[in-house]
Each structure stands twice: as structure tokens, then as C-alpha cells.
Amino acid sequence: MIQFENVTKTYPLGVAALDSVSFAIEQNEFTFLVGTSGAGKTTILNLILGDLYPNSGTVIVDDVDISSKKCNKIENLRKHIGVVFQDFKILHDKDVFENIALGLYIQELTPKKIKEQVREVLSLVGLEGRDRYFPIQLSAGELQRVAIARALCGDRHIILADEPTGNLDPKTTWDIMKIFKKVETRKTIIIATHNTDIVNSMKKRVLVLKKGKLTKDMQKGGYEL
Amino acid sequence: MNQLLTSLRRAPYQSLAVFLSLFLTLFLSLLLIFCLNFLYGLLGYVESRPQVTIYFQNEASEASILKVKNDLEKSGKVESVKYMSKNDAFSLYKQLNKDNPLLLEMVTPDILPASLEIFAKKPAYLPEIANFLNTVTGKDEVNFQKNIVDKLLSLTSIVRVMSLAFFIFLMGTTIIILITITHFKVALKKEEIELLRLMGATVGYVRKPFMDQALFLGFISSTIVYGIFGGILFFFYPSIQGYLSGITSLFIDIGPYSLTVWPISIEYAGGLYVLLTGFGMGIAALATIFATHKYLAIQRS
């Protein structure tokens, strides 16, 4: 479960990113974060990831209060969070297998288990047989599939995706969303997006942000600003 | 091991630069340590010889000689004083020339003077002791290895100070070079490190490959340096042995233990290898910790 209680975040030069935002996301819930650029979507994802401290308020992830500066469980917590970026963040000197297994190596699984899990997730994202391909040999859509596979691998039950389809054509965008749909019952998924079609079609929970404030929280909502 | 070799192969020039820096530093360090120990061994040898010998005239009575001995022992600057009477000297002479009856026939106890052989506590006391002996009544001659001891003392002292300064400079330079190279490697892996940190990798996990490489290169370079140095020493062994003609072995004192530095004992050779390897791996590890420290902390703002 993810819980924000009156969270305010102001960046060093006085830019207000979030203003007293409160919401709770249950386990295995699928949520879209929408809003114009600078509305605070990425800030929310970074706060969940423990990459930022709030100026005030509380951020609780998996029963851990990560808003406290005394919190030393960030590394452990991050082992349960998968992140998908707009620019994929795929390592170009590693092949598909190595990129996906990155998070599994951290969890110090045995080589056999790593192989099994990578094979399983490759099949889930539709990249069977491409495990020894290097990123340069893949299309943008395939690279994003690799990134999603990396985020899904291991015991990562929270998936944060920041504009995961921002660089993709409409068909590939839908292919990517289908992957998220396949795992929605097993993972808590939060996607920050500008994509109106996806949000309107999928009818999931939508949190609307405007200038750092949470203006709407809709179950089975659509894209609104 | 495979991962380690792959990462070294993927950045061959950086690995070579680290290896060469370590090689140069370790080689020079080993040379310095060896020379210093050798000089200390030599100094110890010279110090163990009678450092000042006073020969007395025939008229000098045994009582007056023993009084000089007593005065010297009371001075607190003398480790030991050995009295050799005319008869003792004659006995020694006979023993040394027992195969030469002609020489034995020509010599009587009266010809050989009585003497005192003095060992100082510190070489620095030798001039003072020699000055005192020169004022003794009944003195015939004072033999003092002043020049040898002085030269050796000043040489050892110069080498020690210069070695220390050079060693610090060498170590500082090497660490800076290693930090720069490792920084460069870390910068090349910046994206991967950021990603690993976001995925929950600990500082130790991210640092491990850099540390493994550093320790591996430290170990390899020190072992190669040791092998090459051993080869050079083996090549020059006869020359050094010739130079030390008459000196069978050299020791240095390490606390209560005495270590044979020449001919090189197994303990000394083993100790040097452990020291060199530890030093090589240590500076490589230290440089890695410095180089990676900045990049690895989770910077929450």
C-alpha cells in the first residue's frame, strides 16, 4: 500500500512541486497520474521511490515511512519497486538478458533462478528468443518491453512508469499497455502519462494533478485536466 | 572471475594504466625497502664488530688498564668492553697461526700489546669514547672505525629520510592516478550505477566490481613485481656476494626477532611478498573507495 498524507514538496529554488497532496493506493491497484507538465507527476513517483524527501507530510510505502530522514530502508524498499522510464534507460553494453537480470543479480538469486525468471518475463513481454540481442539491434518498442521486463522481474510488486509510451507510436503504445494489463492483478501499477486515449480506454483509477495539487481522484475515470 | 576478466577486457587501456601505475610504485617501493633493510643489516654488522680498540704500551699496568675499563663501563655509553691481556693476545695469535711454526717462533707475549675492545651502545657515542681513550696514560694506539661507521650512519639516515619522502610522494601520486582512472571508469558506468541504485543495489554491491578489479590488479602487479625483482636479484647475486666478501650474513632486528636479510631467508622473502601484496592491494582498494564514494551515496533532496 502507498499512502501520501498532506505531502508538500518544494524544490530548492522555491519551485512548488506538490502542495498538501493526500491519497492512498491499495495493493494491486492500477492508477494513472495525469496532469500538465510540471503538475507534480514525476515528483510523486520520485517520492515513492525514495529519491526525494517531502518538505512536510508523510509518505508510506509498504508500511515504511520513507519521508523521515532517519529512514535507512530505502535500498530494501527499492528492491520491491520496478521503474519504467520514458527513455527506457537500457544499458547498451549489455544484452537483453543482462539488462533484464540486473535487478535479479541485486537480489542475489541463483543463476538457475535468474535464467528461469528472465525466460518467463521475456515470454510475458513477447521477446522470446531475443535474450542475446544487444539494444542496438532492437526497435524502440522492443527496448521499452525490455525495460518493462526488467521492472517486472523478481519480487517487485510496485511498478512505477513515467511516461512509458511517450516515445512510442500508437500501435506500440497499445502493445505496451497490454503488458501492464497482463500483470495488473499481481502488481501495484502507477503510470504517469499524457496519453488521453489510453487513460480513457482503460477505465482505471485516475489522479489528476494541477500545479502541485490533487484536483481529482476518480475510480474508473478518464483523462481530464 | 569471468565477470572480472570481462570487465577488464572491456576497458583494456584503463586496466593497463592501473597496472602500470601500481607496477612502478610497487617496484620502487620494493627496491627502497630492500635497500634500506640491506643497509640496516650492514650497519648492524659494522656495529657488531669491535668499534674502538685501544692498544696499551708495554709499561701500562694491568691495574691501570682495568681502571680504564671500569671508567668506560661506568660512562653508560658502552655496551661491553673486552680486555685482552698480552697473554690472551698471544694465545689468540698462536691459535690463528698454528699452521705456521716460523711465525710462532718469532713472537713472544711481550711483543703483543694488551688491549681493550669497546662496543658502544650507539654509534653516535664512538667519537666521544675515542677522544676519552686518546687521553689515557699508557696508550699506544687507538683504532677507531670512525669513517666507516660515520659514512654508513649518514648514508642510512639519508636513505631513510629520502625513502620516506619519496615513498609518500610515490604513494600520493599513485593514489591520485588510480582515483582519476577509477573516476573515469565510474563515470562511464554512471548510467548503470544510477539504475542499480534505483533498483535497490547497496553501496557494497555497486562498488564490488570496481573493488574486485582493484584488488585483482593490485595482486597481479605485486606478484609480477616480486617475480621480476627476484630475477634481478638472482642475476646480481654473485656480484653482491663478492662485494660482501667476508660477511657471511646480515640481520635486522624487528622487535625481539632477528631477521636474516642476506642471504635472503625464506622468512624475509615471504614477509616481503606479503608486505608488497598487501600494500599493492591496499592502495588500489583505498583509491577505489575514494573514487566511488561520491557516486554511490543516495542523494535524497
Question: SS3 for A21-45, per residue?
Answer: EEEEECCCCEEEEECCCCCCHHHHH
Structural domain harbouring B97: 50-144
pLDDT of residue A149: 93
Same domain, B36 and B56: no
Whether A147 has its CB under 8 Å from any CB of chain B: the answer is no
Same domain, B78 and B167: no
**Which one of B144, B175, B210 terminates a domain?**
B144
Contacts of A81 in chain B (CB under 8 A): 200
Contacts of B202 in chain A (CB under 8 A): 75
pLDDT(A223) > 90: no
What number is the average pLDDT over the span A145-160? 92
Residue A225 contacts residue A208 (beta carbons within 8 Å)? yes
Q: Say how many domains are in chain B.
A: 2
B160 pLDDT band, cuts 50/70/90, is confident
Same domain, B10 and B106: no
Same domain, B158 and B21: yes
Contacts of A80 in chain B (CB under 8 A): 200
User: Is there a domain that residue B259 lies in?
Assistant: yes
**Which one of B83, B112, B144 terminates a domain?**
B144
- DSSP code of A208? E
Q: At what angle do helices A170-183 and A140-152 cross, to 10 degrees?
A: 10
What number is the average pLDDT over the span B73-100? 84
Helix (H), strand (E) counts: chain A: 7, 10
Find the range with the poorest average confidence among A59-63, B142-146, B166-170.
B142-146
What number is the average pLDDT over the span A139-162? 92
Tens-digit pLDDT profile for residues A74-99: 888 999 999 998 888 999 989 999 99
Cβ pair A106:B191 closer than 8 A: no
pLDDT of residue B190: 86
**pTM for this structure?**
0.69
A137 pLDDT band, cuts 50/70/90, is very high
Give A103 to chain B, closest Cα distance, Å.
6
Same domain, B111 and B69: yes
Strands annotated E in chain B: 52-56, 78-84, 115-120, 139-144, 250-254, 257-262
**What is the average pLDDT value for chain B, to the nearest integer?**
85
pLDDT of residue B227: 96
Tens-digit pLDDT profile for residues B216-249: 999 999 999 999 999 999 999 888 888 877 777 8
Same domain, B265 and B179: yes
pLDDT of residue A74: 87
User: Is there a domain that residue B301 lies in?
Assistant: no
Contacts of A78 in chain B (CB under 8 A): 197-200
Residue B159 contacts residue B39 (beta carbons within 8 Å)? yes
ipTM of the complex: 0.86
pLDDT of residue B282: 94
What number is the average pLDDT over the span A176-205? 91
Name the residue among A80, A83, A93 with its Cβ closest to that of B198.
Answer: A83
What proportion of chain B, given as a percentage, has pLDDT over 90?
19
Whether A71 has its CB under 8 Å from any CB of chain B: the answer is no
Helix (H) or strand (E) segment spanning residue B270: helix B266-296
